[in-house]
Structure 1
Amino acid sequence: MRKSWFLKENLLSSSSMNFKVFQGICLGAAVLSLICLWFAGQIGDKSIDKRSEEQDLHEFLLENEPDSEKSPTFSENVENSVKLTKEIVSQRQFLAIVFTNFFHTARSIAHMNFASIITEIVIPQEILPSGSVKLSLFFMVLTLGPQLVLIFNEKLIARVGAINVISISYIVSFFSGFLIILAGNPYMIMAFMLVDCITVHTIAPLFNIIISDFVDDDARKNNRPSGIPSIVFSLNALFVKPAQSVAPVVIVYLLNQSGYQEYLKTKMESADLKSTILLILFMTPSVIGGIQYIIMRSMYNFRRPIVRSTHVV
């Protein structure tokens, strides 16, 4: 949703150059969101009214049931949550998922937020003019390409396994960084950005699959009656969310060290700034992909769980 919004806004407002059109789009999005929120509230009120009587009756029966078990106290809930958290965090597989997902989120945010800066500085204006249809189409390919690859290769991913596909993407990312030797060709840079976009944004949804697999494996190892997906996904978000703030800070710091602030004033890129952007563009997938592959291979169990079928005679 965020990518499609960026694509439409970038196309209609000429890369945000037409500020009035940009304001109109924001206002239209706000009104549409308000309408959707109002309809959702109306539907929710009706469903709540239908369930209220049943819920009151259910609570009345529970209160008057002599053998009903007492609900755990607040301190017992906290103690149980801390215990479950320790059990999850102490597992190597969970740490492998969290660490690799952290780096992947940082790489994804950096790629999505700085694509326009990269194309503006390292791609000549003759090829991708600022605010042109060509630039919008290029961003559209970067946006829709990974989604199409994921959709059309759904069966292949299911057959190979999400974790194996993720590991292959790390290998491709690592070796793709060596294409920096061809960075003098702007078309090669554009092709690399497409490959990098596919290896980043196609793999991101697969983390939900391996986290779900971990939930099932955790329930089996700890003899739980059912999995605890809410705690696992919450802990994953707790450790991964900071990457969304760390990545832009690091990239902006590196750009400012190479004179990006001066470029914003003069619109004249220096050789130092261009070389820094090329290093960030090509070395980020190589370094992060290598780290992710090492972490995943050393800490994650790639064996698929054995599913035993039971026959009722």
Structure 2
Amino acid sequence: MTSRTSLQTRILAVAALSMGCSLIGSAFGFYYVKVFLNYYHIEENWFQLSQTLFLIWNAINDPLFAYFQDSTNFRCSRTRRESVLYAAPFFALSFLVPWFPWGNPETLQPWVTGIHLITALCFWDTMFTYVGLAACCLFTEMTKDNTERLKMIKYNQIGCLMGSSSVFLLQYMSNQLENFQAFQATCVAVAVVSCLLMMYCGKHAHTERELQHESDVQCGKPKVMKSQEHSYFTLTKQLLFNRDFISFVITNFFQEFHRTFLSNFFAIFADQLIVKGAIPPLVRSLFYGASSTGAKLIVIFGTGIVSRFGYYKVIRYSQIFMIAYGLIYYMTGPINHWCLMFFMLLNSFLADSIFSLFNLPLSDIADNDMARYNRRHPVTSMVYGINALVVKPAISLSPMLVVSILNSYGYDRLKDGKLDAVEETGLSGAMFSVLCLYPFVIGCIQFCSWSFYTIRGTKSAEITCHVLKSTSECST
């Protein structure tokens, strides 16, 4: 087997992981807020408390798991692929926790539903973090060639595209959550398929470093065990004083803030702004399904553009475009249902497609860090983990902010049918304003923060030369 064929097989294994994660990730983000708000009728104070605890756990677990994966040699953390292999069943199980209420939702005490959401979010994020860190590190450590990394992004997006069909499948099978038992049964099937795909990746996704270690052992050389010459706090300090890293994580924080808003509230906003009967049910299902699949198609067919212009310019132009269309649509107002659907899809496509490129700057930052500090082995998990430490709170803060805004306009009373026509019009207007101002405000902030990023798509070899300032070596 040639090295290229071997790499192709490993890339396909990572694509299987992307598909498995997307199957459950798309559905979890799309449904959990709607299920707990509209089906379980969770009270706002319990929802806000659960999101606050979720935020704290998010901030703690990412860097801890990152250091664990980079520094320990347990069976579940020896290699990136084994981290995926042993965590896959628990990750699939964490997906199922929200969809099975702890009793009759109509008679449950509010605190039971609140504890249910807290448990579901923390269990989900624990497994999402552990598997997600390993998946990101597989992307960075599988190859250092930017062309191959773009190819991996393309294959990963194909996997994500196939996986994101779970939203359309669940919409269809449950008749848009009208049949909750069918929704639950479909979720179980989705979880099983996802687990099998992730375990396949855990068997076949060898990194270059892992293959080198296996070759050394076969040649009689001692296997190099993972260890850190620096403490956890020293590594954290080194990363947090990196200008490129800070610039990136600020941009990433607001990207996640935007994506979480779209993922959690897309259906809620669409149900309110596009009244029932305005479009056929099949079109509505396709509309919801397209919100999670269209971005993948853009990335699959747009990798050539990224290769030509570099990820820095593509991300920069997307920010300018986001500022423009958010402001223009806010000024024109909701013209009709079809224009609103187009705007919502455009917003969702851009947010998700640009986010899929963010592993490229993180990989460059990890390569840069290894060269700068002359490390014996990369601390890729730490790079992704500290990034998550800053970024993950957005996953909680975004829904907390939006739920607070909506309830101030009566959304909590709308669910109980206690909102009159005038108040409902005000709620719809507030939803439209939030929908337009999110991309405008976030785009402005990202435009400023991204200006301080200096790598700008530079090849890894050039980064290394710049960091080490080896002018004589670079000139060759």
| AA matched with 2:398 | A
- The match for 1:109 is 260
| AA matched with 1:182 | T
| AA matched with 2:454 | N
* Corresponding residue to 1:14 among 147, 172, 175: 175
- The match for 1:301 is 454
Q: CA deviation at 1:31?
A: 4.9
Q: CA deviation at 1:43?
A: 6.7
1:135 aligns with 2:284: yes
The answer (yes or no) to whether the contact 1:175–1:286 under 8 Å persists in 2 is yes
- The match for 1:170 is 319
The answer (yes or no) to whether the contact 2:167–2:289 under 8 Å persists in 1 is no
SS of structure 2 residue aligned to 1:203: helix
Q: Distance in 1 between matches of 2:194 and 2:326?
A: 41
Q: Distance in 1 between matches of 2:293 and 2:310?
A: 23
CA 1:156–1:29 in 2, change beyond 3 Å: closer, same or farther?
closer
> Unaligned regions of 5+ residues in structure 1, if any?
45-53, 63-68
| AA matched with 1:17 | E
| AA matched with 1:184 | P
SS of structure 2 residue aligned to 1:265: coil
- The match for 1:204 is 355
CA 1:37–1:289 in 2, change beyond 3 Å: closer, same or farther?
closer
Q: CA deviation at 1:181?
A: 2.4
- The match for 1:82 is 233
The answer (yes or no) to whether the contact 2:260–2:398 under 8 Å persists in 1 is yes
- The match for 2:271 is 120
Q: Distance in 2 between matches of 1:85 and 1:31?
A: 37
Deviates more, 1:102-111 or 1:222-231: 222-231
| AA matched with 1:248 | P
Q: CA deviation at 1:211?
A: 0.6
Q: Distance in 1 between matches of 2:425 and 2:242?
A: 47
**What is the aligned residue count?**
287
SS of structure 2 residue aligned to 1:206: coil
Q: Deviations over 1:250-273 (max 9, x none)?
A: 111110011001111118661210
Q: CA deviation at 1:142?
A: 1.9
* Corresponding residue to 2:387 among 228, 232, 236: 236
SS of structure 2 residue aligned to 1:114: helix
CA 1:216–1:272 in 2, change beyond 3 Å: closer, same or farther?
same
| AA matched with 1:22 | F
CA 1:191–1:91 in 2, change beyond 3 Å: closer, same or farther?
same
1:251 aligns with 2:412: no
CA 1:128–1:32 in 2, change beyond 3 Å: closer, same or farther?
same
The answer (yes or no) to whether the contact 2:291–2:348 under 8 Å persists in 1 is yes
Q: Distance in 2 between matches of 1:38 and 1:93?
A: 32
Q: Distance in 1 between matches of 2:203 and 2:368?
A: 37
After superposition, the CA RMSD in angstroms is: 3.4
Structure 1 vs Structure 2: percent identity of aligned residues?
29
CA 1:31–1:95 in 2, change beyond 3 Å: closer, same or farther?
closer
Q: CA deviation at 1:177?
A: 1.1
Q: Deviations over 1:144-199 (max 9, x none)?
A: 21111111111111111112111111111111112112323132211111211121
Which residues of 2 match residues 28-107 of structure 1 at below 5 A? 28-32=189-193, 36=196, 77=228, 79-107=230-258
1:279 aligns with 2:429: no
Q: Distance in 1 between matches of 2:418 and 2:311?
A: 44
Q: Deviations over 1:198-230 (max 9, x none)?
A: 210001111100111112223344444554322
Q: Distance in 2 between matches of 1:117 and 1:151?
A: 28
Q: Deviations over 1:25-56 (max 9, x none)?
A: 1333355567x39976x979xxxxxxxxx9xx
- The match for 1:215 is 366
The answer (yes or no) to whether the contact 1:110–1:247 under 8 Å persists in 2 is yes
Q: Distance in 2 between matches of 1:290 and 1:195?
A: 18
Tell which structure's C-alpha radius of gyration is larger.
1
- The match for 1:47 is none
1:150 aligns with 2:299: yes
| AA matched with 2:289 | M
Q: Distance in 2 between matches of 1:155 and 1:112?
A: 27
SS of structure 2 residue aligned to 1:17: coil
The answer (yes or no) to whether the contact 1:183–1:189 under 8 Å persists in 2 is no
Q: Distance in 1 between matches of 2:415 and 2:320?
A: 36
- The match for 2:184 is 23
Q: Distance in 1 between matches of 2:402 and 2:231?
A: 40
SS of structure 1 residue aligned to 2:231: helix
Q: Distance in 2 between matches of 1:108 and 1:33?
A: 22
Q: Distance in 2 between matches of 1:38 and 1:88?
A: 30
Q: Distance in 2 between matches of 1:78 and 1:225?
A: 9
| AA matched with 1:124 | V
* Corresponding residue to 1:184 among 334, 347, 355: 334
- The match for 1:291 is 445
CA 1:303–1:157 in 2, change beyond 3 Å: closer, same or farther?
closer
> Unaligned regions of 5+ residues in structure 2, if any?
1-21, 27-163, 205-213, 466-471
Q: Distance in 2 between matches of 1:305 and 1:24?
A: 48
Q: Distance in 1 between matches of 2:184 and 2:430?
A: 33
TM-score (norm 1): 0.80
